Amino acid sequence: MTLTADLLVAAAFAFAFSIGAHYTGACMGMPYAAGAIRPWNALLLMAPLAFLGAAFASGNVETTVGHGILGGGTVALGVALAIIVAALALTSAYNFVTIPTSTIQILVFATVGGGLAAGIPVHWGTIVSLVALWATAPFAAFGLGFVLVRVADRLRPVSPTRGALARGAVLGLVGVGSAASFAMGANDVSNATGALIMTGLFSLFVAGVFGGLGIALGVLTWGRPLLQRVAFDLVELDPRMATASQLAQSIVILASVGYGFFTSMNQALVGAMIGAGLARRRSAVLWKPIRSILLGWGVGPASGIALGFGLVWALAQAHLL
């Protein structure tokens, strides 16, 4: 491979590593917050499940990212490298300040920005479909979270006393966290490896395995700060609310992946958490950190398209593309 190809592969792996760390809270935050699993055990469970999702359930989404956003055939290596560097830099910056932004939105708009700068046709129909999904998914998760808590409370009222978690509650919480971990691998690996597909370097399966390894490593080595942030700063949870939130998130994500689209793990989770909280009482939701996340969702796409465009334009001006 050429030097540019080598750099692209390295950047894709680094991005997958960053994604793994970024989404620990979105996958295992609820079981951890409820006391069903210890943090290190949560990460050890999450890593292989995320790898399996990336390797065996990401093909449809990989196709969307690799071939459904930019047209005109194979994308030049330099353009793909600039896109992934822009997305990686922004995601890493948001990781550093522990703001759970949408990596997917950053990547998609960095791709759009890079395509515009390089004069590559953009499949705007795909972008419209994705934006519609992103707007709908948090509300769908909100509704599911609300309904699941209300139905569960009606079938079995909450005990006023609190003690050790029952075995069934522990298994339920760990189960939904496991499902979310698998869903994250399938949903998010293409953020890192879609560039390898759009350039023709990797096949769908090889890209999934490669990215899955990076995600698993990121979970194990850099995942705990985001796990802590999402678990304890957003909602005062009891086990039933936590289970409902994580289950609602997993349903929304896996449904999206099944149709070849991807949406934000964090947005789905926060929507489900708000729904679960409001099913009980308004005071269960801590609005200040949620407002900070909403700000991150706003700046993510804008910064993605700006940096993607800027890097590709700069490389073009330097005759490096």
Q: What is the mean pLDDT of residues 235-257?
A: 88
Structure pTM?
A: 0.90
| 259 band by pLDDT with thresholds 50, 70 and 90 | very high
Give the pLDDT confidence of 181-228 residue by residue, as tens digits.
999 999 999 999 999 999 999 999 999 999 999 999 999 998 887 787
Which 3-state string (H, E, C) describes the chain? CCHHHHHHHHHHHHHHHHHHHHCHHHHHHHHHHCCCCCHHHHHHHHHHHHHHHHHHCCHHHHHHHHHCCECCCCCCHHHHHHHHHHHHHHHHHHHHCCCCCCHHHHHHHHHHHHHHHHCCCECHHHHHHHHHHHHHHHHHHHHHHHHHHHHHHHHCCCCCCCCCCCHHHHHHHHHHHHHHHHHHHHHHHHHHHHHHHHCCCCCHHHHHHHHHHHHHHHHHHHCHHHHHHHHHHCECCCHHHHHHHHHHHHHHHHHHHHCCCCCCHHHHHHHHHHHHHHCCCHHHECHHHHHHHHHHHHHHHHHHHHHHHHHHHHHHHCCCC
Give the pLDDT confidence of 41-81 residue by residue, as tens digits.
999 999 999 999 999 999 999 999 999 999 988 999 999 99
Q: What is the pLDDT of residue 45?
A: 97
